[in-house]
Structure 1
């Protein structure tokens, strides 16, 4: 009985002792341990601010087309005797592509050539006679007309004979061959396609509010998903004289030199027209902290990150241009923003 009462008296004392020990061990002491805890260094990623080119760009979607593009067709109708190209050949201007049956045209040229020689011989005889006989002058004039008519017929026959051989009107890349030897072709028969892709033209639209700033030879950059990370650079070569009444935009054409033939007609291209270019302090967009209508960054000085307000003048492709709040060579936090506040001690990774 006596031991039970003693246990009841000691139990509260033991509980109180344990609580005091816990408070002593886990609560920060008054000798600055709390201050040391909050002053722990936070690792962040930083970017050094530099003066770089700041381009004002108008982005749009464009459609690529060849500098020249045609269907190869025959001016005459006849049977194909020879084909001198394969699918997708790269050819030069004047290169022979197709030969049509041309015996009749060859005979016509030969016959008219003989007739012309005879008519000229008669003309020479009458010219001699006209010097001594007045009656020969009228015959001379008739013979001159015959010579002129025969010459015209011969030229027409030679033209028709030349058209029996189909040649390339300009250099370029051929498409699929759509005929075979022995086929009968007319002026409605598609033989193949020919595209001059040494220069690729891209048509895109620009809002009308930029019309006054548009000029020929402005720089245009374009990209396609087929070549990730590859940027093609060209120049504005045409600005439409009309504004689209529905979209309130003006069509612009840019030309790109395509010597390596990477760009092809029909491609969908992401274009960026450079309206102007200037030098500015460039900062990664992920370093910017928007708050209401203001923008801030964490600037690092002597290992301390301080929040400062900046003024943004432009954005492009993950970068922003700054004209107030920062100086060249200063460092700003780009990763780890949520772990720090103004006055935090930081260390830069790497």
Structure 2
């Protein structure tokens, strides 16, 4: 025990001597840097919303009769004015033919009376009465044609039909639901936000939405309408956004997680790992690229934060290098050895591996 104590003191002294030797001082500390850059930035507002089709309708019968034709299948994409369902209209067609025959008869009567009146062989009053009866017959034909249109159910807009729950030969009556039709190219997304956010909301604000059904997909959209009323109970306002849906992946009724990009702007951004907090103040270590990547400790004024990043309001210029990893091992004024600069194509483990490989090659 007594003999080992002098040996321990000798080893500690040797280590201190090596650390203070010129050789050790010449070995700069390895760091990983990041470059301050201008990027699109916003203050997010998060909410949950429900999807609705841009246009949605349930087509139903307006007359009582049997189904003669069904011209669609489940999930078909149809065009506006396409015939979907035709009901049996034999009786209505017969009524129309009878009305047309009556019109022709009264038209001939008008022509005959007009010729006689021109020769002063028929009073003008008879001609006027005949013309009135002709107009009555023509009005009856228009009414029958409008009634015949009720026997043909057409798509009011382009869209996708739902399940077919009726069959040819089935008797339907007014109000019987025949098929649903949804326009899915654009989806409406309704969600609520606190009334405190009203001053920062406006139509056209960009947003992103995600769904558990597509965990790797992000759907872009923008605020279309802001509700005219605030709920007095929840103190929230309803907001409606529009999302493009060209591949029809989104469906009405889906739950979406919404992030509204409030106050969009271009901001100077650095990694959050570069910050050195000291009380209420924030510092970074800036690298001088012209002088052996020498460290300069600098105070910053920061703004908003998001995952892994922070907005810089003052104290730093675009394209300056800051120490992102290794801040605890370097001091103000010291030169450093740069292992690499973080970007979208590199990571910390990769830069550390490169530095280790380079050290082994040099050793």
Q: Name the TM tier (shorter chain).
A: 0.7 to 0.9
CA, structure 1 residues 38+76, in 2 after alignment: closer, same or farther (shift >3 Å)? Answer: farther
Displacement of 1:120 in angstroms is: 1.1
Asked if 1:218 corresponds to 2:205, the answer is yes
Q: What is the distance in 2 between the residues matched to 1:18 and 1:252?
A: 77
CA, structure 1 residues 110+314, in 2 after alignment: closer, same or farther (shift >3 Å)? Answer: same
Aligned to 2:300: 310
- 1:53–1:280 CA contact under 8 A, matched in 2: yes
Q: TM-score, normalised to structure 1's length?
A: 0.82
Aligned to 1:20: 6
Structure 1: which 5+ runs fail to align? 1-14
Asked if 1:278 corresponds to 2:265, the answer is yes
Asked if 1:320 corresponds to 2:310, the answer is yes
Pick which of 206-215 and 194-203 moved more.
Answer: 206-215
Displacement of 1:299 in angstroms is: 4.2
Aligned to 2:17: 32
Deviations 1:279-315 (A, max 9, x none): 2211233444555433344545546666643222222
- 2:33–2:338 CA contact under 8 A, matched in 1: no
Asked if 1:87 corresponds to 2:74, the answer is yes
Displacement of 1:17 in angstroms is: 4.2
CA RMSD of aligned residues (A): 3.0
Q: TM-score, normalised to structure 2's length?
A: 0.79
Q: What is the distance in 2 between the residues matched to 1:18 and 1:275?
A: 67
Asked if 1:141 corresponds to 2:131, the answer is no
2:192 to 187, 202, 205: 205
Asked if 1:269 corresponds to 2:256, the answer is yes
- 1:57–1:272 CA contact under 8 A, matched in 2: yes
Asked if 1:193 corresponds to 2:180, the answer is yes
Deviations 1:233-290 (A, max 9, x none): 3333222222222233332222223222232222222323334333221123344455
Structure 2: which 5+ runs fail to align? 340-350, 355-363
Aligned to 2:319: 329
Displacement of 1:231 in angstroms is: 3.1
Partner secondary structure for residue 13 of structure 2: coil
Aligned to 1:11: none
CA, structure 1 residues 316+23, in 2 after alignment: closer, same or farther (shift >3 Å)? Answer: closer
Asked if 1:109 corresponds to 2:99, the answer is no
Aligned to 2:357: none
Displacement of 1:44 in angstroms is: 5.3
Q: What is the distance in 2 between the residues matched to 1:234 and 1:127?
A: 68
- 1:102–1:161 CA contact under 8 A, matched in 2: yes
> Could you say which structure has the larger radius of gyration?
1
